[in-house]
Structure 1
Amino acid sequence: MRKVGLAVVGVNNFAEFYLDKIAELESEEQIKLTAVVIHDQVNNADKVRELRHKGIAVYSSYESLLKDAKSCVDIIGLPVSIPTHAEMAIKGMNAGYNILLEKPPAPTVQEIDAIIKTEKETGRFCSIGFQFIHSHTIRKIKQFILEGKLGEIKEIAAKGFWPRFKSYYDRNDWAGKSIAMGQLVLDGPMHNAFAHYLNNMIFIASSEMNKSASLKRIRAELYRAHSYIEADDTSCMEIETVNGVSIYFYVTHAPEELRHPYMEIIGEKGRIKWNMENEKTVIELKNNEVIQFDNNNIDPYKEEFRVVARKQLGEIKNLYCTPENTRNFVVAINGAYDSAQKIKAVPQDLIEEFTNDDGEYQTVLPGIDKLIDRAFAERKLLSDLEIDWAVKTKWVNVENYPGFNPFN
């Protein structure tokens, strides 16, 4: 069987994760790492030697890869900085390569539309690295709903509590930024760390397997507790889809305790509870039937690579996660900023910043865990709870959303 040749741009941070996953998959005889781009080959000299010893081509720039790697590369993996996503994906497709683009696909609707346009013009494909759209549980949940077993979907809600330390924001030039490298980044929890779980809900709310739900209107609140960043770190959002599903999303990087994402789906015939840990899923139907399953030890990260390889080999017609079916995720993010208008700093006398027992500089917003739990339970935004520091925002219509311009 012919192996699909993959290239990865970078060897550090999330690029290293890509390389590890590809290495684990090479024994399956569909995928092979054939090229890597390493810009700084002096400080990564050991990695350069190791890769070349394995027969993997090493390029010093993306441009040289695009020019010279046609003989060994089918798909280029782009675990690169958010502001460069659209430009690099478009360049790669125009050069004749297929693309695996890490999430989020792009900061603005204009950029995702440009990616979609390039796909159509070049005949190339671009798969988006939202791994949970590739997961066993999310796809099984959606199929269960499409078969009518949960009845009409009324609402979907998710919440997550992940502390992010100063080291997280210091890891590159764009983390915690709204703008970097002259480009929009919008690096808040909804758009980056928790982006999967917002995208999951928009995907599940659609009535077609390979599509996401079209959005009607959005109300969102963006807050910042960390004193040294410019982006939001604590956010909530309410979405009304065109087909009448209400979506609620609550996330923070300044929690008192770490808790992984949890999602509820409420339908006419019951509810589904999904936990990110092991993707544990419980379906509770009103007829007292209870169905339980987990990820069946299928790693969704690996599924990302398996799916693009199968697409490259012609074994499947449709990718699972594409620019077209993640466009509504981008609309949600852009609409959230349109609704919030600005990121509201939480008063510093309400914040605790300290070096924790692991030596990490940490920011905590005391009480935020209980507030999010209450907002989640009542399906309200934080300002609806009459919190002194919370700011009410307006609904914005996002049907036929044309583009995002926060500088108007």
Structure 2
Amino acid sequence: MGTPAGTVAGTQSIQNAPAPATAERPAAKVALVGVHGFGTHHLRNLKRLQAAGVVDLVAVADPTPPAPGSVPATTHAHPGLPELLAETSGLDLIIVATPIQTHAPLGLAALATATDLYLEKPPVASLADFNRLRDAAAASGRSVQIGFQSLGSHALTAIERLLADGTIGTLQGISATGRWVRDRAYYKRSRWAGKRTIDGVDVVDGVATNPLAHAVATALRIAGARTTADIASLETELYRANPIESDDTSVIRIRTSSGLPITCALTLCATESVEPYVTLQGSAGTAVFHYTEDRLTVETAAGRSEEVFGRDDLTENLLAHRNGGTPLLSPLQDSGAFMLVLEAIRTAPLPAPIDAEYVRWEGEDDAAHAVVTGIEEALELAGGQHATFSGLGLPWATSAPHAFHLPAS
């Protein structure tokens, strides 16, 4: 699911925002599936949009009823999407903010009703499910927005300009660096947290596919890699310090069809959480994009500059697309390159456990979190050199890069 970071000073700058309802164009009838967890972010956003007269939240669905006062009095609550669809007509938009393994069936069910769809990230838990969802969307003629909120940042337009202008010279590579902390409580919060599968169903809840998925998606977008055809090679090196199934410390190395290297070095086992960032490595300088803050820093021989940008809300962007054809910022079809990364992780060997000698625990009980020895420096070196952890010769990096066999196009 999504990351609600990215607003600056608690605000969002909206371009091409949908106009308030009129007699000719009533408020969009919206249903939200999943009202807890990240669903609470959508509830807050829909409350704002409903106050502006843009949407009408007519129904929600969740096995656990919404908290008192969290939805409008006129909103009908249902235990699941089938019940909601059976009792609700005329929907314009369904938003799905549920566990990863439910995205495919819920997304397909939503598209079968001829409504537009907002689906939280990651889109689905396998490339096969992505292809099914993409085909269903094409057959229905409906629009599907994926909840990579960072792709609404106005900084991306500024990055396009600086690359076109040659501000940092020729782009030679891109790295994504994520240093977050997740404690034991994080992995206890739900049955699917940190799992690769549940009862034979793919989940793929790893560092690169869920909590720091925006780092991967943003790096790919800047590189111009949107579809599966935009990826020439892909390899993973997955580790875990926590007693979980999925990876919590990993390197993903990508080469685009144009030959550009992208390296994503990510962990949930840092000493402390810092805002993740994407670095553009140019022949004449660098640009660093802290995507959760919409902050872009450029360094060249001429000096250093920094600017904080606004961003477009993806729900408003989808509504503007419905109303006036505004291009979607994060359309389903542009998640193909990201889904190749997810598929590579899904099909890779199990993450290698990091020896306890190189892991320390900070905090007590459920607030305790793992810290991998030297992880901050390791991430910087991996991104800067486009190296894997084993390639750097780290003592705990006992695995080897696993090359993903790209599907035939």
Give the TM-score normalised by the residue count of structure 1: 0.87
* Cα 1:397/1:10, change in 2 over 3 Å: closer
Find the residue that maps to 2:134 and give its secondary structure.
helix
CA distance in 2, matches of 1:276, 1:52: 32
Matched ranges for 1:58-137 at <5 A: 58-71=77-90, 73-137=91-155
Any idea what SS the aligned residue of 1:384 has?
Answer: coil
Q: Judging changes above 3 Å, is the alpha-carbon distance between structure 1 residues 322 and 315 closer, same or farther for their aligned structure 2 residues?
A: closer
Instruction: Say whether the 8 Å CA contact 1:216–1:397 is kept in structure 2.
Output: no
Tell me how large the CA RMSD over aligned residues is.
Answer: 2.4
Matched, 1:159 2:177: yes
- The answer as to whether partners of 2:227 and 2:336 remain within 8 angstroms in 1 is no
Q: Distance in 1 between matches of 2:164 and 2:103?
A: 32
CA distance in 2, matches of 1:31, 1:64: 21
Which residue in the other structure is 1:405 paired with? none
Go from structure 1 to structure 2 and tell me whether the alpha carbon gap of 1:336 and 1:324 turns closer, same or farther (over 3 Å shift): same
Letter of the 1:81 counterpart: P
For the pair 1:264 / 2:260, whether they are aligned, the reply is no
Secondary structure in 2 matching 1:292: strand
How many Å apart are 1:383 and its aligned residue? 0.4
Q: Who is 1:345 aligned against?
A: 353
Q: Give ranges in structure 2 of 5+ residues lacking alignment.
A: 1-20
Residue ranges of structure 1 left out of the alignment (5+ in a row)? 403-408
Counterpart in the other structure of 2:38: 14
- Contact 2:235/2:404 (<8 A) preserved: no
Preserved contact between residue 154 and residue 244 of structure 1 (Cα < 8 Å): no
Between the aligned partners of 1:149 and 1:160, the Cα distance in structure 2 is: 25
Is 1:24 matched up with 2:36?
no
5 Å matches for 1:4-403?
4-41=28-65, 44=66, 46-47=68-69, 51=71, 53=73, 55-71=74-90, 73-146=91-164, 150=168, 152-206=170-224, 214-227=230-243, 229-276=244-291, 278-285=293-300, 288=302, 291-296=305-310, 298=311, 300=312, 303-316=313-326, 318-338=327-347, 340-356=348-364, 360-394=367-401, 396=403, 398-401=405-408
The superposition leaves residues 136-158 of structure 1 with CA deviations (integer Å, 9 ceiling, x where unpaired) of 11233235435665554220001
User: C-alpha deviations, 1:245-281, integer Å up to 9, x for none?
Assistant: 1001111111112222122112345321112452221
Quick one: which amino acid aligns to residue 294 of structure 1?
Answer: V
Offset, 1:376: 2.7
Structure-2 change in CA distance of 1:123 and 1:7 (3 Å): same
Asked whether the 8 Å contact 1:204–1:212 carries over to 2, the reply is no
Which 10-residue stretch deviates more, 273-282 or 112-121? 273-282
Amino acid at match of 2:322: Q
Q: Is the 8 A contact 1:215 1:398 kept in 2?
A: no
SS of the equivalent of 2:275 reads: strand
1:312 aligns to what SS in structure 2? helix
Residues 61 and 395 (structure 1 numbering): CA distance in 2 closer, same or farther, change over 3 Å? Answer: closer
Q: Is contact 1:158–1:250 with CA below 8 Å preserved after alignment?
A: yes
Q: Please, which moves more after superposition, 166-175 or 144-153? A: 144-153
Deviation of 1:63 after TM superposition, in Å, equals: 0.5
Tell me how far apart the structure 1 counterparts of residues 67 and 382 of structure 2 sit (CA, whole Å).
51
Aligned amino acid, residue 292 of structure 1: E
Which stretch shows the higher mean deviation, 190-199 or 175-184? Answer: 175-184
Q: Which amino acid aligns with 1:363?
A: A
Aligned residues: 385
Percent identity over paired residues:
24
